[in-house]
Amino acid sequence: MASTTLQEHEVAHHFDDLEQEFESQKFGMWLFMASEIMMFGALLVGGLFLLYLHPDAFAESRPHLDWRLGALNTFFLLTGGFTMARAAGFAQQREQGKVRTNLILSLLLACGFLVVKTIEYKAKFHHGLLPGHAFHGEGFTSLHAHIFFGYYFVATGLHALHVLIGMGLMIWCLKVSKRVQFTRDYYTPVEFAGMYWALVDLVWVFLFPLLYLVG
Amino acid sequence: MTAHVHDNINYLKTSKGLKSWLTTVDHKRIGLMYLASILVFFITGGLYALLFRLELWTPNKDFLSVDQYNNFFTMHGVIMVFLVVVPGIPGALGNFVLPLQIGAKDLAFPKLNLTSLYLYWLGAILAVISLLAGHADSGWTFYAPYSLSKNPAVMWMLTAAFLLGFSSILTGLNFIVTIHKMRAPGMTWFRMPLFIWALYATAIMQVFATPVLGITLILMLVENFFHIGIFDPALGGDPILMQHFFWFYSHPAVYIIVVPAFGIASELIATFSKKEIFGYKFIAFSSVAITVIGFLVWGHHMFVAGQSEVADTIFSFLTFFTAIPSAIKVFNWTTTLYKGSIELRTPMLYGLQVLFNFTIGGLTGIILAILSVDIHLHDTYFVVSHFHYVAMGTTMIAFIGGIHYWWPKMTGRMYNEVVGKFASLLVFVGFNTVFFPQLIMGSQGSPRRYYHYLPDFQIFHQISTIGIIILAVGLFTALINLLMSLRRAPDAPQNPWGARTLEWEFAETPPVLFNFKETPVVTHGPYEFAKEGA
């Protein structure tokens, strides 16, 4: 459905050609992902260390998370990764319409993730399973369950923030798709949003077992 | 784009007014804005140091309260580390010089570059808010649990450091991509000036180490607000975990601070010896080696923090390894001087100071890496002196040398050479008068950060305080000398130093908006002084 009113992308002044521009931007995006991975990596190492420090708190707290909801969310995210990859593929084939369909599907899946996350957060608030001094869960023998839930909120909260940013990127791609024709040489926005979503997936794939399954 | 009309005009004149500067994406203007901001904070951080050094004139209270003293050394540390030495050379000189030296029109991501600068300014504003919000007194290392006591000034500082870290990541990312993808035809990896290699090694650390600081600061803020218990021992957390996280960034950060200075030293020493630099590849790879080893030595900050003996031994051993690439640089610079046609211009005087000061800074580092000795020296003035020989004596001296070296290119003006040399002499004498006595009193066990001290150490403190006055006079003389040159008509030739790198050989003084009138083609290495004519 490529519309005839779409413009071709213009190369920025300081690049020689499309290829140099695309390669540079993609390399930059990879470096940004590497830096994000270092950040989440440290967070995960911190989580593993807390698990080692307070195994009792983890063992006792984990059953309060519903692994089925976690698995459903894993499904939402990974399927979103698939539709984002499809969008990037269609963008290279100048299939502007299919790009949009896949972007919208990804957005819906991301919304699904956030809805489930909200349901989970609400339940934690309801049962007083909160960080630090706010913790007033009942029936815990471990003295450190507040650390588990503190970590849970920090880690999933930071991840959810990245989900929101990823959704922002998808909306940006939708806007660009109405203005500029994607081609084999220029599909940078879709490629970036897809890469970013892969990061969101990757972080979750580690957080899910650490919080819901281990311990 | 109206810019095309002005393509061939000097970058300072393409457009006018404050708005044209604040919205510019030109790496040269962004570099100059960094330079001005960093110098402002260098003066601020320096004044804090001057004040608490004056307080230390006698062992008892002179004019600062204990609280003010703690606040002043914290402000000095935070400002100097996060607002001056970490962003300093890459932000100011790297930004200006990097695209010129590799023959690019700009950095790969000009808008991102401007974003880095704005994040830097935002971080700086938060640091000022912290100043108004009370007394930050945690020291620049923010050790838990003291920093978790909900002091609003400390919390503003943590947020400021987070934003400054973000700025640093984006600068590093921009540099790596630019160096990989934007080099001019003929600019092979081994024709790159050593300053570029140094910035490259630095950028790798900025991108890979800084995010760990980011998450640490986030966790500390969350800990302050919600008392999660990750770092706070009262809640079941582990404060040593915080130290591990902190130094996983902050040790590489020491190399983020110093490696760009090595790059400048290489430029200065080769150019003013008019000689091919000795062991180009060894110097280039030693920067990369320092980067790699730099990621594996953070535990040497925790030798007395209750770390296991096995970990201590491994970290100590790895720390010795950093001596190898560092020594390679010192030896190669010295060998470059040998039989060179040495010209003692102002920038070179700073280059030679770097060689002198870094030899002391590096060797004292080896002493501190010895486990048994460190137990005695830990938390004494010896450590303070060691890292000032590196951060001030190496990094800031190289920075000032670099400013003098590239000043004609930036502004189109030459400064007064005699005043410049005189200032550099004062800086050399002043700096060593401040810090050499601290090595001695530290080795005798005088602890750092103390408001009161034993009267036996008074003479060392007094020499040190006299030194900082000499240093301050020297630095202000250098600054005024540079600023005075701006009142003159542009008089700098294209290549006043006879350098062989692109920014001097190809670019005009000052450069045009997109750096070169036509894309340069590189046909020789950066230090081939023997062969004339490119």
Give per-residue pLDDT as tens, A93-113: 999 999 999 999 999 999 999
Taking only the tens place, the pLDDT of each residue in B372-431 is 999 999 999 999 999 999 999 999 999 999 999 999 999 999 999 999 999 999 999 999
The fold for domain B24-505 equals Cytochrome C Oxidase; Chain A (1.20.210)
pLDDT confidence of residue B211: 96
pLDDT confidence of residue A2: 46
From B382's Cα to the closest Cα of chain A, the distance in A is 32
Residue B226 touches partner A, C-beta closer than 8 Å: yes
List beta partners, residue B380. B447
pLDDT confidence of residue B96: 97
From A128's Cα to the closest Cα of chain B, the distance in A is 14
Nearest to A27 among B181, B211, B228 (CB): B181
Q: Which residues of B touch A20 (CB under 8 A)?
A: 181-182
Rounded Cα–Cα distance for residues B460 and B434 (Å):
9
Reference A171, options A86, A87, A93; nearest CA is A87
Distance of CA B148 to the CA centre of its chain: 28
Q: Which residues of B touch A38 (CB under 8 A)?
A: 208-209, 211-212
Q: CB–CB of B3 and A38 under 8 A?
A: no
Q: CB–CB of B238 and A49 under 8 A?
A: yes
Reference B417, options B507, B346, B483, B323; nearest CA is B346
Scanning A120-159 for CB atoms below 8 A from B yields 131-134, 143-144, 146-147, 150-151, 154, 158
Q: Is the peptide bond before B510 cis (omega within 30 degrees of 0)?
A: yes
Q: CB–CB of A133 and B105 under 8 A?
A: no
Nearest CA in chain A to B105: A14
List the domain boundaries for chain B.
Answer: 24-505
Nearest CA in chain A to B223: A132
pLDDT confidence of residue B135: 87
Taking 50 as the pLDDT cut, the residues of chain A under it are 1-3
**Is A180 strand, coil or helix?**
strand
Here the tokens at position B462 are 């007094």
Residue B105 touches partner A, C-beta closer than 8 Å: yes
Here the tokens at position B48 are 């804090």
Q: Hey, of A38, A50, A192, which one would you mutate to test binding to chain B, going by the most B CBs within 10 A of its CB? A: A38
Nearest to B228 among A25, A49, A147 (CB): A147
Q: Which residues of B touch A40 (CB under 8 A)?
A: 215
CATH number of A19-213: 1.20.120.80
**Is B448 strand, coil or helix?**
coil
Single-letter code of the amino acid located at B189: W
Nearest to A53 among B219, B228, B238 (CB): B238
Single-letter code of the amino acid located at B204: I
pLDDT confidence of residue B3: 44
Rounded Cα–Cα distance for residues B212 and B474 (Å):
38
Taking only the tens place, the pLDDT of each residue in B1-30 is 344 545 678 899 888 899 999 999 999 999
Q: Count CB neighbours of B176 within 10 A.
A: 22
Nearest to B109 among A28, A46, A49 (CB): A28
Single-letter code of the amino acid located at B136: A
Scanning A23-82 for CB atoms below 8 A from B yields 23-25, 27-28, 31-32, 34-36, 38-43, 46, 49-50, 53-54, 57
Q: Which residues of A touch B104 (CB under 8 A)?
A: 14
Taking 50 as the pLDDT cut, the residues of chain B under it are 1-3, 5, 533-534
Residue A209 touches partner B, C-beta closer than 8 Å: no
This complex has an ipTM of 0.92
Nearest to B212 among A39, A49, A150 (CB): A39
> What is the residue whose two structure tokens read 């071709």?
A8
Q: CB–CB of A42 and B245 under 8 A?
A: yes
Reference B460, options B479, B498, B433; nearest CA is B433
Nearest CA in chain B to A133: B227
Residue B148 touches partner A, C-beta closer than 8 Å: no
Nearest to A151 among B109, B173, B230 (CB): B230
Output phi, psi for A30, to 5 deg.
-60, -40
List beta partners, residue A7. A180
From A201's Cα to the closest Cα of chain B, the distance in A is 19
Q: CB–CB of A49 and B169 under 8 A?
A: no
> DSSP label at B413?
-
Residue B5 touches partner A, C-beta closer than 8 Å: no
Residue B144 touches partner A, C-beta closer than 8 Å: no
Q: Which residues of B touch A33 (CB under 8 A)?
A: none
Q: CB–CB of B105 and A13 under 8 A?
A: yes
Nearest CA in chain A to B7: A13
Distance of CA B137 to the CA centre of its chain: 23
> DSSP label at B59?
S
> What is the residue whose two structure tokens read 């195994």?
A55
Q: Which residues of B touch A134 (CB under 8 A)?
A: 226
Residue B518 touches partner A, C-beta closer than 8 Å: no
Q: CB–CB of A39 and B237 under 8 A?
A: no
Q: CB–CB of A46 and B230 under 8 A?
A: yes
Q: Which residues of A touch B169 (CB under 8 A)?
A: 35
Q: Which residues of A touch B184 (CB under 8 A)?
A: none
Residue B210 touches partner A, C-beta closer than 8 Å: yes
Here the tokens at position B401 are 């040398």
Q: CB–CB of A150 and B228 under 8 A?
A: yes
From B283's Cα to the closest Cα of chain A, the distance in A is 25
List the domain boundaries for chain A.
Answer: 19-213
Here the tokens at position B254 are 């020491």
Here the tokens at position B37 are 């901001």
